[in-house]
Every structure is written in C-alpha cells, then in structure tokens.
Chain A
Amino acid sequence: MTDYPFLMELWAARGAILNGLGLTVAVSLLAIVLGSILGLFVGIGLTYGGGMVRFALRCYTELIRGTPVFVLILACFYILPVTGIQTTAFQAGLIGLLLFCGSHVGEIVRGALQAIPRGQSEAGKAIGLSFSQNFVYVLMPQALRQILPTWVNAATEIVKASTLLSVIGVTELLLATQQVISRTFIGMPFYLFAGAIYFAINFAIEQLGRYAERKVSLP
C-alpha cells in the first residue's frame, strides 16, 4: 500500500470522510423531506388559496427561485443571527436548502394539480366526496405520479447544492475532503473521489425514482 499514497491517505482519513458523507446525507435528506412537506403546502396554497395567500406564496417562490442557492445559504447564515434567530452553521445551511427545495417543489405541485382535468374533481364531488377527501383520494394520487420525475430532479439538485454549505463551515463531504487535501497535498485523486461519491448518491436517487415511477405507472 505504500506504493499508493492516495489509498493510504484515504484509509487514514476514512473517519473524517465518512463523517463528511454522513453530514452531506443528513442535511440533504432533511432538506428534501422538510422542503417537500413545505412545498406540498405551498403548492396547495398556490392552487386553492385566496388572493392574499397566493400573493404571499408567489412572492416566496419567485424570490427564492430567482436567487442563487449560494446567496440564499449565505443569507441564512449571516442574516438570521441579526434578526435574533441563533442557529448553528448546519441549521442555517439546512434552512437555506429547505427554503430552496420548498419553492421548487411548491411550483411542481401547483403545476401538477392544475394539470389534472377539471372533470376529475367534479366526478369526486358528484359522488359526494368532501374537498379534503377529493384531494387525498382523487387529485393527489394523480398529481404525485406527475410530480415524481421532476421531484427526483429537485432532490439531486439539493444533494449538489449541499456542497455550498462548506463555505459557511459545515464539514460536509466536500469540506472534509478539502481538509484532507490541505493536510496531504494529494489534490486530484481526492477531488475525483468526492465527485464519484456525489455521482453515486445522485445515481442511486435517480434509480430509486425510476423504480418508483415504474411501480406507480398506470396502464
């Protein structure tokens, strides 16, 4: 192994890199789950809300989607403490990512709900389903099938965007890798290694998404 300094250093740094990977997975997963829940409500509000609700949500989605994620994360890190909300770097980064995720998922949900033919909700009403029953049993199952491919795409974007948390000092996979590089001076192999791991995570997400799409596809 002494002939392969990279492998040696990788083995030596395995703890740090695994910790980084753990943080990347944790922050991405939390941002995707919480952001999707937020996005679901945003989408419902955009579709069925009154004028004021829709206006407020529209401001949120337009503002967030028109801002680079990097700026959003920096804003959460620097601005939240000023407003009296004390957060760790991890929490600030997570808030940034989930706001980003929520705005995208919100638009996806709105689009999917509006794409369902009006006759579907009318048929639900005609058999006496209440608004919430109609939503849960008729509209959402159809919307979810439409949402799935774009939602998987949004999820991979979050994993990639999580690298930006390195800038505010969250030792996720990228920052952990960079710290190892600054100690070992072996740059390229470690960067390639980190890149391969990000690719593997997103590849897995996409495969999972395809599997789910096949599972729920309709004849």
Chain B
Amino acid sequence: MTHPEASVATTAAAPALLRIQDLHKAFQTVEVLKGVDVTLARGDVVTIIGSSGSGKTTLLRCVNLLEEFQRGRIEIDGQAIGYREQGGRRVPCTGAEVARHRALTGMAFQQFNLFPHLTALRNVTLGLIKVRKLARDEAVAIAEKWLDRVGMLERRNHYPGQLSGGQQQRVAIARAVAMTPRLMLFDEVTSALDPELVNEVLSVVQGLAQDGMTMLLVTHEMRFAYEVSDRIIFMNQGRIEEEGPPADLFNQPKSLRLKEFLKTIKI
C-alpha cells in the first residue's frame, strides 16, 4: 500500500513538514545518532525499523525534544526547534520555547504514560485546557470526539488503573492527537501490550494514517509497517542504512545489514 505521490512530495517544491539534518546525539561518550537526515512531507507516514540500540527511539525522542542533541538541526514547518543561533553559536531555547516546540508534535509512548490520577477524559482535556487555553466545555467536546474516535468514549470516566493496556494506549493516542499536533510520533506503541490487544491499537493508528496525519513511527510490527507506511527507514548503529518504499525494502533489500535484520524477524 505505497503512495507514489508521497515520495514525489518529499523531493519536490512542497515545503517539508519535518526536516532533520545531520543529527548527532551522544549519551556521555556513547554516540547513538551519527548524522541522521530525515525529511517528511505533510501527510507522510514513515516507519523506522532496526534492531534495538540502533537509535530509532532516540531519534523520535530528539524530535519531541525529550532528548538534547549535540549537533544538527530539526525543523518543523521550517522552524528550527530546541536550539537557535545566537551570534554564530548554538544556544538551547528557553523552557517556554521548548514547551511551544513540543506542542507541534504529539507523542505516544511504549508505556502509555497516562496520568493515573486523572480519568480518561481529563487525561485528554488537561493539555487542551492548560496548553491550548480552551474553555472547559470546548475541551471536553474535543476530548469526547477523539475518545469516540479511538472507541473509548464509553469509558471516559474510568481511571487508567481500570483500563486494559490496549485501552490505555488508545486513550494515550487520543490525548496526543487531540492537541492537533502537526506531526505524530509513535514509539513502539504496541510493544508493551499482550498480543491480543495489539490490533485494537494498530487499527487506531492506521485510521489516523488514512486521515492524512503526518506520522513518524518506530515499531517491531513489520506487517503493520509494510501496510501503513509510505516509506521505511532502516537504521543501524546510529545511521540510516537504507530508506525507501516498503515493497522495495522488504522485498529487495540492498544492504547486507538489512538482509540480516529481515532474516531475524518474521513478517
């Protein structure tokens, strides 16, 4: 299910929604990202695959500024995030600027990270009220729309502790997309789920993709990645080893590493 026009969009004049250039990230002395370039056009669905430790989650966390990065540049809609140039030097943005930058992206986490002291509904309205400064009624209306969308409207007054993993993850996705981010980041959203709960979450993600939401995903669900993505990025040891439409990457891998990686996993 590839979209040929998507790859055209990334290279043509359409301004990139996300542009990552020469991203370097090290934890102390360990270099995790060694110069990564990624470009997403509006509506692109791109999945990053690779073995653990290849830097895929770190890349996602850098885009959401949950990690600092030492070199390179990340732009969303042409606006550099996290750092700015000041007198030829690279300076971290202030806390308020970083919070604004973070609001441009939404993130769904492997461990859901719902707020346990708030109901499903209030998990979603918190950001709408405190960050987007909406009135409570308006926030509730938006939250209910999204909870309905992920099939959780009936349980809007349940606390996370009363929900299954899959239900929690669906609420967490509603919480992120309700903020109308320009880009959604999905970090292994099904890895912590029991196998029978994986599909309910994947179908929510797939629905959002079909709606044209721009997404950057990290997943171990290769079949899902194959079906939902416009492009696959294979990362290896902090670099992008290979990139292209799913059919090409999965069926005709060029690099040895990718061939080896595909051999170790089931599709």
- A: residues with CB less than 8 A from B are 117, 119-120, 122-131, 133, 137-138, 141-142, 145, 218-219
Quick one: given A122-B109, A219-B159, are A129 and B130 in contact (CB under 8 Å)? yes
Bound CA–CA A133/B96 (angstroms): 11
Using a CB-CB cutoff of 8 Å, which residues 76-115 of chain B contact chain A? 95-96, 99-100, 102-103, 105-107, 109, 111, 113-115
Q: Does B127 contact A (CB under 8 A)?
A: yes
Bound CA–CA A219/B126 (angstroms): 20
Cross-interface CB contact of B96 among A120, A130, A137, A219, cutoff 8 Å: A130
B127 touches A128 (CB 8 A): yes
- Residues of the A chain whose Cβ atoms lie less than 8 Å from the Cβ of B109: 119, 122-123, 126
B64 touches A219 (CB 8 A): no
B95 touches A131 (CB 8 A): yes
B99 touches A120 (CB 8 A): no
- Residues of the A chain whose Cβ atoms lie less than 8 Å from the Cβ of B65: 125
Cross-interface CB contact of A128 among B111, B113, B179, cutoff 8 Å: B179
Top 8 A-B residue pairs of the complex, sorted by shortest distance between their CB atoms = A128-B103, A127-B127, A123-B113, A119-B113, A128-B131, A126-B107, A141-B117, A130-B99
B162 touches A127 (CB 8 A): no
A126 touches B126 (CB 8 A): no
Bound CA–CA A18/B208 (angstroms): 69
Quick one: given A127-B179, A130-B96, are A137 and B159 in contact (CB under 8 Å)? no
- CB-nearest residue of chain B to A216: B117
Cross-interface CB contact of B99 among A117, A129, A141, cutoff 8 Å: A129
B115 touches A123 (CB 8 A): yes
Other contacts beyond A219-B161, A219-B162: 11, CB < 8 A: A119-B109, A123-B109, A125-B99, A125-B102, A126-B106, A126-B107, A126-B176, A128-B103, A218-B116, A218-B161, A219-B159
Bound CA–CA A120/B107 (angstroms): 13
CB distance from B169 to the nearest CB of A (A): 12
Bound CA–CA A130/B130 (angstroms): 9
- CB-nearest residue of chain B to A130: B99
Quick one: given A128-B179, A218-B161, A219-B161, are A123 and B99 in contact (CB under 8 Å)? no
- Residues of the A chain whose Cβ atoms lie less than 8 Å from the Cβ of B102: 125-128
CB distance from B32 to the nearest CB of A (A): 17
B161 touches A123 (CB 8 A): no
Contact with A along B155-181 (1 / 0, CB 8 A): 000110110000000001001100100
A-B contact pairs, 18 of them (CB 8 A): A119-B111, A119-B113, A120-B115, A125-B66, A126-B106, A126-B176, A127-B126, A127-B175, A128-B99, A129-B126, A129-B127, A131-B95, A142-B115, A142-B117, A218-B116, A219-B159, A219-B161, A219-B162
- Residues of the B chain whose Cβ atoms lie less than 8 Å from the Cβ of A120: 113, 115
- CB-nearest residue of chain B to A120: B113
A127 touches B117 (CB 8 A): no
CB distance from B262 to the nearest CB of A (A): 31
B107 touches A137 (CB 8 A): no
- Residues of the B chain whose Cβ atoms lie less than 8 Å from the Cβ of A133: 130-131
Bound CA–CA A125/B158 (angstroms): 23
Bound CA–CA A137/B128 (angstroms): 13
Bound CA–CA A142/B161 (angstroms): 14
A142 touches B116 (CB 8 A): yes
A127 touches B159 (CB 8 A): no
Cross-interface CB contact of A145 among B95, B107, B117, B131, cutoff 8 Å: B117
Bound CA–CA A126/B101 (angstroms): 10
A127 touches B116 (CB 8 A): no
B117 touches A130 (CB 8 A): no
Bound CA–CA A172/B162 (angstroms): 49
- CB-nearest residue of chain A to B114: A123
Bound CA–CA A142/B114 (angstroms): 12
Bound CA–CA A133/B103 (angstroms): 14
Bound CA–CA A80/B175 (angstroms): 54
Bound CA–CA A141/B159 (angstroms): 14
CB distance from A207 to the nearest CB of B (A): 23
Bound CA–CA A124/B130 (angstroms): 11
Quick one: given A126-B64, A126-B107, A130-B99, are A218 and B117 in contact (CB under 8 Å)? yes
- Residues of the A chain whose Cβ atoms lie less than 8 Å from the Cβ of B106: 126-127
Quick one: given A122-B66, A125-B99, A142-B117, are A218 and B131 in contact (CB under 8 Å)? no
